[in-house]
Chains A and B, each alone.
Chain A
Amino acid sequence: MTTLAGWQLVLAFLIFPGVVFTSFVGLTLTWVDRFVSARVQWRKGPPFYQPFADMLKLLLKQTVVPAGASKVTFLGAPMIGFAAMCVTAVLLFYVNFFPHGSFVGDLIVLVYLFALPPLSTILGASASRNPLSAVGASREMTLYLGYELPFLLALVVPIIHTHGAIRLGDLVLAQRTAGPFLYSWSGLIAAVIVLVCIQAKLGYPPFDIAEAEQEIMSGVLIEYSGAPLALFRLTKAMMFFLMPCFLVTVFWGGLTSFWAIPELLAVVVLVILIKNTNPRFKIDHALRFFWFILGALGIIAVILAFGGL
């Protein structure tokens, strides 16, 4: 079946694969992150229920709105990113399990949906009435300008391989017959570019420039407390699950292939290892890195894709 009835859509949005499922898996993946980081540093790490305890504690804490901050924007900004991630979850899973149901341009819709969480942090930071959060917001904006360029270039590569299909469903079907795009030179380069852009989009080292704890006291999130902060962290946890899903969908054979779960775990562990072994970039270095190094790699990948490799 390719269309869902109304109540099935609501169920898909709320339970599986929407809010509840993605939140649960996302929070468990953040525990995996803390566990692997702890082992890499030769220590024990938190117990498995730690992310859930964090969420519970934050939801039950007092929410402080700074005086003079725009109340509606301040409290409403986290919801934008959260809603975007919930819709993304449904879309991604639907496209993977029912590839014939995807519509023209849903790849572009997904790119826009993934752009909403950084936008919601920028909005929230600008509504905070705090000079440090303004610095964080400007850094987040600059970083976004940086990584979106090679991200889009890398996404052009699978489109070229399938001779112009901008439906995610067509990309998934093509990978089922011809093999994952990763197993070609241009696909490999594009997947590496998307991996680095995932690191930046999640705000993990070496690109945690916007939320630099030691420099600008948690930059974008400095004034947030209680439930809005919990929403921001939940959005980030959901992105930690959904962005590797996106990478696997577009480059590595889709979520219905036999190796889907190990592939997802491999991407997650790669992100964690990069996070643990790199110091932070400066914002101008990061911009130059994304535009000139990754951008050049992206162009090379596109040329290779045109050449058939």
Chain B
Amino acid sequence: MKDPRIWGLKKSPWVYHLAAASCNNCDIEVLELLTPRYDVERFGIVLVGSPRHADALLVTGVINRKSLPRVLEVYEQTPKPCLVIGVGTCTCNNHIFLNSYNAVGPYDKYLPVNAYVPGCPPKPEAMILGVVKALSKL
């Protein structure tokens, strides 16, 4: 019998959407992901309104000097164990904001990221694949 904690986390990952200085394109795609067409509830994924209820943080957007302390604060407030999934190429390597004065590098410099989903914006199917891969690695 596998660890019940991991089983519970795998079968019912509750998702909190955290937009850190994003252009909102990935946010719109995350919103589409949660519509009946893609039906993520069959994996047990539910969008929750508070970081304290969350098991997975879906972070979007290139991390900013101004939003960095706030993203770290939200990560601290999420009860562990929790996954961090970076959605969009901006989270991977700053993408088009590569040499910008305000972008401070990929998320894994500051947070333990479980999966990146590249794309600008990634398709909802790609996001489902990313979440499922992150869950299966647990």
Contacts and interface: CB of A to CB of B under 8 A. Distances in A.
- Indicate yes or no for A touching B, C-beta below 8 A: yes
Contacts, number: 82
A224 B41 contact: no
B79 A34 contact: no
A44 B50 contact: no
A43 B41 contact: yes
Interface string A203-244: 000000000011011100111111001000000000000000
Interface stretch (B1-9, B98-106, B111-119, B127-135): B1-9
A234 to B, nearest CB: 15
A218 B7 contact: no
A64 B52 contact: yes
A187 B39 CA distance: 41
A199 to B, nearest CB: 20
Nearest to A54: B12
A37 to B, nearest CB: 9
Interface size class of A (residues with CB under 8 A): 20 to 34
Interface string A19-63: 000000000000000100010011111110110011011101111
A45 B4 contact: no
B39 A53 contact: no
Contact of B12 (A41, A53, A64, A217): A53
B81 A61 contact: yes
6 contacts: A47-B42, A62-B81, A216-B49, A218-B48, A218-B53, A229-B52
B41 A225 contact: no
B49 A60 contact: no
Interface in B38-52: 39, 41-42, 44, 47-50, 52
Interface of B: 4-5, 7-9, 11-12, 36-37, 39, 41-42, 44, 47-50, 52-53, 55, 77, 79-81
A50 B37 CA distance: 20
A57 B48 contact: no
Contacts of B37: 43
Nearest to B37: A43
Interface core residue of B37, B39, B55 (most chain A CB under 10 Å): B39
Given A42-B36, A62-B80, A222 B41 contact: no
Contact of B48 (A49, A60, A213): A213
Contacts of A222: 49-50, 52
Contacts of B48: 213, 218
A54 B44 contact: yes
A60 B5 contact: yes
B41 A38 contact: yes
Nearest to A61: B79
A38 B39 contact: yes
Interface core residue of A44, A46, A49, A221 (most chain B CB under 10 Å): A46
